[in-house]
Amino acid sequence: MTSHDGSTADADGTVRLTVAQALVRFLAQQWTERDGDRQKLFAGCLGIFGHGNVAGIGQALLQGELGDGSAAHDEHLPYVLVRNEQAMVHTAVGFARQKDRLQTWACTASVGPGSTNMLTGAALATINRIPVLLLPSGTFATRVSAPVLQELEQPYAVDVTVNDAFRPLSAFFDRVQRPEQLPSALLAAMRVLTDPAATGAVTIALPQDVQAEAFDWPVELFAERVWRVARPVPEAVDIADAAALIRSAARPFVVAGGGVHYSGAEGALGAFCDATGVPVGETQAGKGSLPHGHPQLMGAVGSTGTTAANALAAEADVVVGVGTRWSDFTTASRTAFQDKGVRFVNINVARFDAGKQAGLPVVADAREALTALTSALEGYAVEPAHRDRQAALWREWDARVEAAYHPAAEVTGALAPGLLTQAEVLGVVNELTDPRDVVLCAAGSMPGDLHKLWRVRDRKGYHVEYGYSCMGYEVPASIGIRLADPSRDVFAMVGDGGYLMMPTELVTAVQERVKVVVVLVQNHGFHSIGSLSESLGSQRFGTSYRFRDTGSGRLEGPRLPVDLAANARSLGAHVIEVHSRSELEQAVKEAKAAPADGGPVVIHVETDPTVHAPDSGSWWDVPVAQVAELDSTRRAHAEYVEHKQRQRPLVGPQDG
């Protein structure tokens, strides 16, 4: 019997395929299921071919696409050609996050630099706990032609390859040296990809000769396989202990993390807050856990937090973390929670994260835990005065946001012609986009401004990657988000520094006719790091895009004549250049009206990096030189020492 891809199924129940063909056929048959809803685990394969995968995985993908017109052709994996290997991992991550980690893409790269280009993407996926399958190619397992082009040679260990660099960056790693090893590697990989507590980058390294090697596979390997994504329920004793601790609190506070979204626990969190009146601060990944306007929503918490959330966090006596890994931005480098007797409850599907902050761990799915906790707290609520305080703090902050979105004449009048403030740009986009549209960012000054200022109106409307805060994430990830949900417009907010890191995926968006809107904010340098440098006494050194001055020899000459609008246009994008608020408003409307299959739209706008968004007075720990000749550095170090005195270990109540 001959299958659709030309392989032959023998009477003994085996089918002869290459390792790459078997891999592709297996991946096409994997499904996930949660709450009765099923979806294919892999939407397709992203890749760039070269020696190492072109004759292996490349041939298998081609064979699957060609098919023979039979129903079995549905088993193939769609293939998308990208322009950068790091970028394709970002695209897969953006897609998987938008799909609540229930679906993702495989990524294939060639030997050597093609594969190691994926390393940054691997780190980003694992740090953010996002599933993505990486298939780096390797040199010959047989070593028959060693050393080959792009092969790493290590005198102390001949079995070491560049793909070993994926080991510390992956949630799971295996190298398939023989065809017989493939089934166990694949099954283990699927287990990790579909485990909410263990997921991240999953790497299966494939030497180029092994990819092309034929083997007789049991047909059962290619049967449809469903991986149920579990919702672990909390232990009753843990819920009872957590409820008792919250009942003892006068000023409880919730920190909502990304686990709220991945669990689909937004409704459960809302019910908890409605019943108890406990205020909520959001991490970057958790923003949108409650919609803008909810009475208990105090906005962002931590280093890029709002004055409302941070004021309540500072005085909280019990803090309930839901699906957060407690990064330094969330805790303001362990200065956010100042009550001397503060206690923590950590609800997390991963025991590793639930055990942080010396808190009471509740290891469970966020939705299940919040539902159980709400029931256990029946009859408990914060005092009406505390609700009034929440409302007053929020009104004060929301007025500051409104002023930043619509700056006064004395602010706009001081700007150079054609320039806007960054907060004003965010305000225009926020107010003119639909509630279901997605805003996207990753690095620079905009993630902090978005965290504080953006008004989220839909659970999937906010997508800022801040686990790795990787410059260049924005454009490729916007493609992934749009592929995940074509019914939403995606607005990628990116500064000129981040854009220059990875603009090439605009070509992929053009090729696939993917409509994404890139709001390219030009401020002629690294805005975020420039501001950080200035605050640390380093005077924005090396952060502006300028010529080297012929007199001083320093990078302080005229601005570089870089035309990023022309660059985007040359890559095939539709570009709109704006020089005023009214032009920006018209550009957003034009981008919204653009056809769904019209490809990328780039809105180019210039801003003044010296006009900052409202500040909440929070802190982030970045060490300052302890000795220096510069007065600016010495002053910055004195301020640093003052902040360090407020830093706490968060390992239990603190006396004094």
User: Tokens in use for 264?
Assistant: 């689909």
Q: What is the pLDDT of residue 537?
A: 85
The residue length of the chain stands at 656
- Tell me, what's the pLDDT at 29? 97
What are the average pLDDT values for consecutive 10-residue runs of the chain, which has 656 residues? 48 92 97 97 98 95 79 74 98 98 98 97 98 97 92 92 97 98 98 98 97 97 97 98 98 98 98 98 98 98 98 98 97 96 97 94 98 98 98 98 96 94 97 98 95 98 97 98 98 96 97 98 86 84 88 90 96 98 98 97 95 91 93 92 91 61
pLDDT in tens, 149-168: 999 999 999 999 999 999 99
In 3D space, the residue among 606, 612, 585 whose CA is nearest the CA of residue 452 turns out to be 612
Question: β-pairing, 37-40 with 30-34?
Answer: antiparallel
- Fold classified for 236-397: Rossmann fold (3.40.50)
| pLDDT of res. 71 | 47
Coil/strand/helix, residue 265: coil
- 411-416, Cβ contacts within 8 angstroms, sequence gap of 24 or more: 411/611, 415/608, 415/611, 416/608
What CA–CA distance (Å, rounded) separates 488 from 86?
25
| pTM for this prediction | 0.95
- Choices 3.20.20.70, 1.25.40.10, 3.40.50.970, 3.30.930.10: CATH for 14-227: 3.40.50.970
pLDDT at 55: 95
Give the pLDDT score at 617. Answer: 87
**CA neighbor of 506 nearest in space, from 444, 438, 574, 552:** 574
Classify 247 as helix, strand or coil.
Answer: helix
The predicted structure's pLDDT at residue 5: 44
CA atoms within 13 A on the CB side of 452: 29
- The whole-number pLDDT of residue 602 equals 98
* 236-397 and 410-524+560-606 have identical folds: yes
Q: Among 604, 603, 433, 596, which residue's Cα sits nearest to residue 514?
A: 596
Per-residue pLDDT at 527 = 79
**How far apart are the C-alpha atoms of 590 and 215, rounded to whole Å?**
55
- 322: β partners: 256, 347
Confidence (pLDDT) at 656: 41
Residue in this structure with the two tokens 């092994």, named with its chain if needed? 210
Spell out the domain ranges in the chain: 14-227, 236-397, 410-524+560-606
Token pair, residue 282, equals 């959001």
Where are the strands (E) in 583-656, listed by range?
601-606
pLDDT of residue 67: 79
The two beta strands, 14-18 and 201-207, are unpaired
Q: Which fold has domain 410-524+560-606?
A: Rossmann fold (3.40.50)
